[in-house]
Structures are given as structure tokens and as C-alpha cells.
Amino acid sequence: DSGVTQTPKHLITATGQRVTLRCSPRSGDLSVYWYQQSLDQGLQFLIQYYNGEERAKGNILERFSAQQFPDLHSELNLSSLELGDSALYFCASSVGIQGARNEKLFFGSGTQLSVL
Amino acid sequence: AQRVTQPEKLLSVFKGAPVELKCNYSYSGSPELFWYVQYSRQRLQLLLRHISRESIKGFTADLNKGETSFHLKKPFAQEEDSAMYYCALGDNAGNMLTFGGGTRLMVKP
């Protein structure tokens, strides 16, 4: 167990809907990262937060947004969902601000999103 | 732009055979490279990183800047090595990991 908790484990919804994915980082970790894993795109970095502030942005669509709360948990909001948004969404955390380059990332078990 | 390529989606070997999972990268800066592994029904986890020059579970990886490669090797594969392996490249800012498409390693008895 990495200590990173993601809920829900599975989510089934319809096109056009909005969902929220939740991530609780390991105790003491200040950075949270979101990744999307799909069959055709592999693992894609979406966004990173450090201590409540956005730190880096990757291939995140405008329909998607995220935030990190004072208790350090993070939420990824996906809106106007399309079939192509179906994927496994991973959250990861690390201790500090250095980010993935110099630190070990601890991954959650992911949320499987199915858009029908 | 940074890019990581893992040319093999699937690699199947017999137990005891040598294994090499290929990874090539494209990056203009000084690369930081990692191998992550995902065993069946487990989370993605760090296997090794090039700056540590370590051997984990018998696996090693050497950064070859001339060939822009970071291949993962193990001299004698074990059945428990069967998993999905991802090569990843860290950016200069230290914020973003770019992952390759992954290689599924199957070690047959």
C-alpha cells in the first residue's frame, strides 16, 4: 500500500456529464500529480499541485480542472464528458516541491472512468 | 518537447532467460530517467532511477546519452518479474514525468 488513496475505484457515467475524482496523498506529502492512462495514449501527465497551488500543467483539457485543498487532498473535475475521456486516472504524491525529477512518486490505485 | 518511446508492447521470455526492455528518449536538456513497474492488481511503483545507479530486484539500467537510451536489463528473468514496465523521463523543472507507452513483460515457466 503506497498510502495514496483514490476514490471512487470505478465510475460509470454518460456523455455530457460531470464527475469529480478524489485523491488523498500520503501523510506528509505536499505534492499531488494527476495522470490519465488510456489504451491509445499511455500515461499522460495532467497537472501537479504543491501545497494548494498549481505547479505544473501537462496535457490537461480545458474541460478538466483540479484543485488541492488545505488538508492537501485533491480533486480532479471532468466536465462535458466524451467517450474518449474513458480512462484510468491516477493520482500520485511526493514529499516536496522538487517534483518527479528528484523524488519518488507514490501512486494510488486509480479511478477507472467509463463514459457511455 | 520530450518524448519516451518503448518500442515493444509485449515481451515474452522463458524463466532464466535474459531480459532487455528497450527505452529511447528525446529531450534537449539533461535527462533524468526512471523505470516504473506495475504488477498485476498492484499500483504503479518506482523500480529504479538512473541517478541512483542501483540494482533493484536484479534489474539494472544504464543511461546511454549517445544513443539516447535507458534500457532495462536483467540477466535471468523470474516468473514474478511478469508485469507492466514504464520508462519515464523527468523534465528540467522537476515537475513532470513523461511516460513511455509501456512494455508488458511475460515470463513463462
Give the containing element (helix H, strand E) for B3.
strand B3-5
pLDDT at residue A98 in the model: 64
- Which residues of chain A have a CB within 8 Å of the CB of B93? 56, 99, 101
Q: Per-residue pLDDT for A102 more than 70?
A: no
CA B48, B54, B57, B58 torsion-angle sign? positive
User: How many CB pairs below 8 Å do chains A and B form together?
Assistant: 60
What percent of chain A shows pLDDT beyond 70?
93
CATH number, residue B9: 2.60.40.10
User: Which triple of cell numbers denotes residue B17?
Assistant: 532467460
Nearest-CA distance B69 → chain A (Å):
17
pLDDT recorded at residue A99: 60
**Is A102's Cβ below 8 Å from some Cβ in B?**
yes
Mean pLDDT of A58-64: 91
Q: Is the pLDDT of residue A78 over 70?
A: yes
pLDDT at B54: 79
Residues of B in contact with A102 (CB under 8 A): 32, 51, 90, 94
The per-residue pLDDT for range A5-38, each reduced to its tens digit, is: 999 999 999 999 999 999 999 999 999 999 999 8
Q: Given this model, what pLDDT does residue B95 score?
A: 66
Supply the range of the domain harboring residue B102: 3-108
Decide: A24 and A75 in contact? Cβ < 8 Å.
no
Q: What is the number of structural domains in chain B? A: 1
Q: What DSSP character marks residue A71? A: T
Burial of A52 (0-12, 13-18, 19+ CB in 10 A): middle
Which of A45, A58, A107 lies nearest to residue B43, judging by beta carbons? A107
Does A100 contact B94 at a Cβ distance shorter than 8 Å? yes
In sequence order, which residues have a C-beta less than 8 Å from that of residue A110 and are 6 or more positions away? A6, A9, A37, A88, A89, A90, A91, B43
CB contact under 8 A, B46 and A104: yes
Q: Which three cell numbers stand for residue B79?
A: 516468473
Q: Does A5 touch chain B (CB under 8 A)?
A: no
Has residue B3 got a pLDDT over 80?
Answer: yes
